[in-house]
Each structure stands twice: as structure tokens, then as C-alpha cells.
A and B are shown apart, each in its own frame.
Chain A
Amino acid sequence: MIKKFIHQFASPKTYLYQVSRFYKYIFYFSLIIYIISIIWGLFFTPEDFVQGNSYRIIYLHVPASFLSQTLYLAMAISSITYLIWRVKLAAYLIIAIAPIGAMTTFIALISGSIWGIPTWGTWWQWDARITSTLILFIMYLGLISLHNSFSNHEKADKLLSWLVIVGAVNIPIIKKSVDWWSTLHQSASITLTDKPSIDPVMLYPLIGSIVGFFGLVICLVLLSSKYQILHREKNKSWVKDYV
């Protein structure tokens, strides 16, 4: 029953038509939220007592860092869905998400390094959080290269799914690295269980920037998956009707 449900609602055709329907609403909503939050954070929040104005990088670094891990989890869920129920769309999503995950991880690493110069006095430190994030970036690149090296898409999808699931062990390591080891990186300012350690004046634009960036990244995933579907299903008659 679950298999029938998934196959009915996760067919590439249904997905593609739904993407075209909702894309612009998500895009404009997210863009407006993101731009307002960034302007709010950069110009209308007070200077931090300890870090000065360099703390304003938080409005760009934290959303990218959050998405770099969330996208990998989305890839892991897609991998499990593909391996158990053989849903083609899940396989397309894995390779559609990977380049965007690499981009968000790259932004998280570079923005963190730039933030580190005025705050820590160094742009790089081989500590647990930064090193595990670098491993995540290398994993994204490795998965993309591996997929591109296969001419047989089905074999590539299967292998990629297993590798993504194995690599998912790095996500809790990234998340908990600041608690398990002594690192330069500060602990999380926002958690699901505790009260945020950041002042509300700085917190609201941060939440807005996370929501806005999340929406924009979803739009990128929709575009990327649309391309994957058109590319992989190009010989199907419904694709010709769609374009």
C-alpha cells in the first residue's frame, strides 16, 4: 500500500507538473524574506559587545551551515526511499541535491574562515567542527564525481545511495563536535530543547535569514531536480508533451 502511494505521488511526471505550479510562489516568498532579514541583520541590529560588527556574518554563515547538513540528510532519506521502494524520483533527487549541498558547505566553510580572522585571529584551525565540515564538502564532491563517472545510471544510483547512507554518520559528528571535543567553534546558539542564547534583537533576523535561505535552496533543488528529470526521462513521450 505504501509502495503504491509513493509510486503514484512521486512519479517524475506528477513531480514536474507540481514543481512548475509552486516554484514561483516559493521563490518570491523566500527571496523577500531573505533580503529583508539580511538588511535587518546587517544594518538594524546593534553591534556585538565582544565581536563587534564581524558577528553580522552570522546572518549568512549560519543558514549555509544549517542547510549543508539538512541537504545531506535529505539525500540520505532519498537514498533509503530509493533502495527500499525503488522510487526513481528519489534517485534523481540524490544527484540533484549534491551540487547544491556542496555549494552551501563551501559557503559555510569560506564564510566561517573569513569570520575567524577578526574573531579567532586565524582563518583555519583543524578542530572537530571545521574538519568534519570539510569532510562533508569532500563527500559532496566525491559523490558528484562518482555519479558522473558512470555511464549506467541505475548502477550509479544504487552505489550512490549506499555511499550517502554510510556517509550520513558524519552529520551527527558535525552537530555534536562542539560538545564532544574542545573546539574554537562556539556551541549552538539555537537548539530545539533550550532557550536561545542569542538576544531576540539579533535572533529574529537570524531566523528570517534561515527561513529565506532555506526557501531559496529549496528552489534550487526544484530547478536541479527538474533538469535531472528532463535529462533522464528525455525519451519518454510525456516529457515531449511537457516541453
Chain B
Amino acid sequence: MFNFAFNSFYEALYMNGHGLYVWSVVILVFISLLGFFIGYTVKIKKIKDKLNEPN
């Protein structure tokens, strides 16, 4: 069940010609998640800073 499915690291990247499709989806998902996490963290920090400002 836990056998490495490829013979080399290059083969794992290339995936018999399907690597471009698979890795582009991996990048899309991770960038989307990261972007949303960073975006909301920044938005919360900004609103907290604004609320902490002395009137």
C-alpha cells in the first residue's frame, strides 16, 4: 500500500506525460488555500488594529 509508485523523482514529476495536468491542479489548490488564509488573517488584523485605535 505504501510503495513508491515511480522509479525516480523525475518520473514522479513527469507522470508519463500527465505531470503538467496534475501539478497545475496541485498549485491551483495550494495557492487558493494559501491566498484565502493570508487574505482573511490580514483582514482580521486590519480590523483589530482599527478597533484598537484611540478615538
- Find B22's partner among A56, A99, A234 (CB 8 Å cutoff): A56
Residues in B neighbouring A47, C-beta threshold 8 A: 5, 16
Instruction: State whether A42 touches B44 (Cβ < 8 A).
Output: no
The size class of the interface chain A forms with chain B is 35 or more
The distance in angstroms between the C-alpha atoms of A107 and B31, with both chains bound, is 11
A38: Cβ under 8 A from any B Cβ: yes
B10: Cβ under 8 A from any A Cβ: no
From A99, which residue of chain B is reached at the shortest CB distance? B36
- Find B48's partner among A103, A118, A230 (CB 8 Å cutoff): A230
- Find B21's partner among A42, A118, A219, A227 (CB 8 Å cutoff): A118
Known: A216-B33, A220-B37. A111 touches B1 (CB 8 A): no
Q: Closest CB-CB distance, A58 to chain B, in whole Å?
A: 10
- Find B25's partner among A44, A103, A111, A243 (CB 8 Å cutoff): A111
Q: What is the total number of residues of chain B having a CB less than 8 Å from a CB of chain A?
A: 32
Interface of B, helix, strand, loop or mixed by DSSP: helix
Q: Closest CB-CB distance, A74 to chain B, in whole Å?
A: 16
Interface of A, helix, strand, loop or mixed by DSSP: helix
Instruction: State whether B48 touches A243 (Cβ < 8 A).
Output: yes
A131: Cβ under 8 A from any B Cβ: no
Instruction: State whether A114 touches B3 (Cβ < 8 A).
Output: no
A100: Cβ under 8 A from any B Cβ: yes
Known: A52-B16, A106-B32. A61 touches B25 (CB 8 A): yes
Chain B interface residues (CB < 8 Å from chain A): 1-6, 12, 15-19, 21-22, 24-26, 28-29, 32-33, 36-37, 40-41, 43-44, 47-48, 50-52
* Apart from A53-B15, A243-B52, 6 more pairs, CB < 8 Å: A42-B12, A42-B22, A52-B17, A216-B33, A223-B41, A226-B40
